[in-house]
Chain A
């Protein structure tokens, strides 16, 4: 059986061009695996955590950026602790070089643990304090309406983030203004920093809470590309909220569904097992 052809590192300064196409065409499972490997390698090299929420969000973020996001569209990462997934996604589109990705978390980096306010391609806003992104997205969507533009705005939130009152301030604004060009993605991995969302301050099922607002609710498996393509399709007279059922730490059996994946970095052995496991699965699929 052939080994997967993807490599974890590509030519310095070339972004991901050496390994993948930087188009907004079809996102393949192979590219997704490559992105996950790069994400793991990046966090392993920096010896940092926050992997769980990065891995739960990565598939949706990749899909949005590769298949939905045009130059005129906007994406706001409200759950800024998934910055690594955003950086890797931009790398996969050739917008960040592999060398720069290697500076993740290092002194002097442009790629800190949460997205910076300036200097990141296509990313307008520094985030990290939860509860800001939906207001920013609402403003972008409102600006498009006022300026008679037809672009879409995508906002990715976590599920725990809905405990922030400001998120509901924003939701009320979005629905009252009927910002139909706005799509809210909720990474519903059911775990937060120090417990399960259901145990800490439950809004579960979050869809039932959102039903009280004039928003079109869709649900999808956040790790199933076809299911997400359906849920992210345009066309609504109201803001759309897509509840993505995800697994914290998705793709890394050692941390899948574990709360501590919010903080703890992978050990060398866990990292090796995760990559080898993917490689084995890829071989079996040949």
Chain B
């Protein structure tokens, strides 16, 4: 999504208040943005805590700061700055986090982001975006840019399966209709599930929804989703995030609180590193049962 991100921010660069801070990331991707922004493009160096604090202060002066680094270097390294400096003050800092889930693959676990939106969902007023497809990025940048408060944008690689056409961006989107279980996938996992269950609208197959904004209090499920779940009463949540703090848990609680009786609940989530070995994003997804074959098997069970 880096190319789409750069294009979306270049299109926004004419806004005189926009300031972009990178934690020394962007080689081979963000040069057009650097050229478009001039002095408003800052390489803040390998100092993420400082970068977030600086961005908070820039926002307090009416500027529009965007920060950019690898996801864990943002939410994990600079968590206290996000909490204290940004969220306590409700400042509109937009934090771009590259490499959601296992996206950095064999680079290893220090570069993975498996608990980011769970942790960040606990912070007041922080709106989280998880674009599902590359084509979503422009709309997400627009949406995050108009937030009155802080935003965290989890970027990954999101591909629409061959033969499928994704509907226009929305926080909740129905990608596939069906009378089977209601499947909810977060961000790019929507494309993986979609490829697993196929585009042909087999009415016995699952109904697939993509979720791209969290937490649920800021992005509640739409009525069509509620109607489908009420009718089917079978729910499956798929996410490249640990189960603890993920959408699965919060959606289950949301159902309970709303009196929505779900008869069957399945939760496919990141399992961490069960074999103790490392590999590509596809390898880690397989180890977690997040690959198309495992998803198909779960839904068929």
Q: Which residues of A contact B (CB under 8 A)?
A: 117-118, 124-127, 129, 131-132, 135-140, 142-144, 146-147, 165-166, 169-170, 172-173, 176
Contacts and interface: CB of A to CB of B under 8 A. Distances in A.
A140 B57 contact: yes
Contacts of A137: 57
Q: Which of B45, B63, B81, B84 has the most CB of A within 10 A?
A: B84
Contact of A117 (B39, B81, B89): B89
B61 A136 contact: no
A129 B84 contact: yes
Nearest to B46: A169
Contacts of A129: 80, 84
Contact of A146 (B39, B44, B45): B39
B19 interface: yes
B85 interface: yes
Given A140-B61, A147-B61, A170 B53 contact: yes
B85 A136 contact: yes
B53 A132 contact: yes
Of the candidates A117, A137, A142, the one having the most CB atoms from chain B within 10 angstroms of its own CB is A142
B63 A143 contact: yes
A124 B60 CA distance: 8
B47 interface: yes
Q: Please report whether the interface of chain B is mostly helix, strand, loop or mixed according to DSSP.
A: helix
B40 interface: yes
Contacts, number: 94
Contacts of A138: 50, 53-54, 57
Contacts of B52: 135
A135 B61 contact: no
Contacts of B57: 124-125, 135-140, 142-143
Nearest to B50: A169
Contacts of A126: 84, 88-89
A169 to B, nearest CB: 4
A169 B47 CA distance: 6
Contacts of B19: 146
Given A118-B89, A146-B39, A173 B50 contact: yes
A120 B85 CA distance: 15
Nearest to A145: B39
Given A135-B50, A172-B45, 15 more contacts: A124-B60, A131-B49, A132-B81, A132-B84, A137-B57, A138-B57, A139-B61, A140-B61, A142-B54, A143-B63, A144-B61, A146-B39, A147-B61, A165-B49, A169-B50
B56 interface: yes
A172 B53 CA distance: 14
Nearest to B78: A166
A74 to B, nearest CB: 9
A140 B61 CA distance: 7
B151 interface: no
A137 B45 CA distance: 17
B58 A139 contact: yes
8 contacts: A117-B89, A118-B88, A126-B84, A135-B52, A135-B85, A139-B57, A146-B19, A146-B58
A131 B50 CA distance: 9
A239 B31 CA distance: 30
A13 to B, nearest CB: 27
Contacts of A118: 88-89
B55 interface: yes
A135 B81 contact: yes
A23 B93 CA distance: 35
B216 to A, nearest CB: 25
Interface string B65-90: 00000000000000011001100110
A39 to B, nearest CB: 25
Most buried by A among B39, B49, B63: B49
Interface in B11-60: 19, 39-40, 42, 44-45, 47, 49-50, 52-58, 60
Nearest to A165: B49
A143 B21 CA distance: 13
Nearest to A136: B57
A142 B21 CA distance: 12
Contacts of A166: 47, 49-50, 53, 81
Contacts of B63: 143, 146-147
A142 B53 contact: no
Contacts of A176: 45
A137 B53 CA distance: 9
B60 A170 contact: no
Interface string B106-146: 00000000000000000000000000000000000000000
Contacts of A147: 61, 63
Nearest to B61: A143
B107 to A, nearest CB: 23
Contacts of B80: 129, 132
B45 A135 contact: no
Which one of A137, A138, A140, A146 has the greatest number of beta carbons of chain B within 10 Å? Answer: A146
A126 B84 CA distance: 7
A286 to B, nearest CB: 46
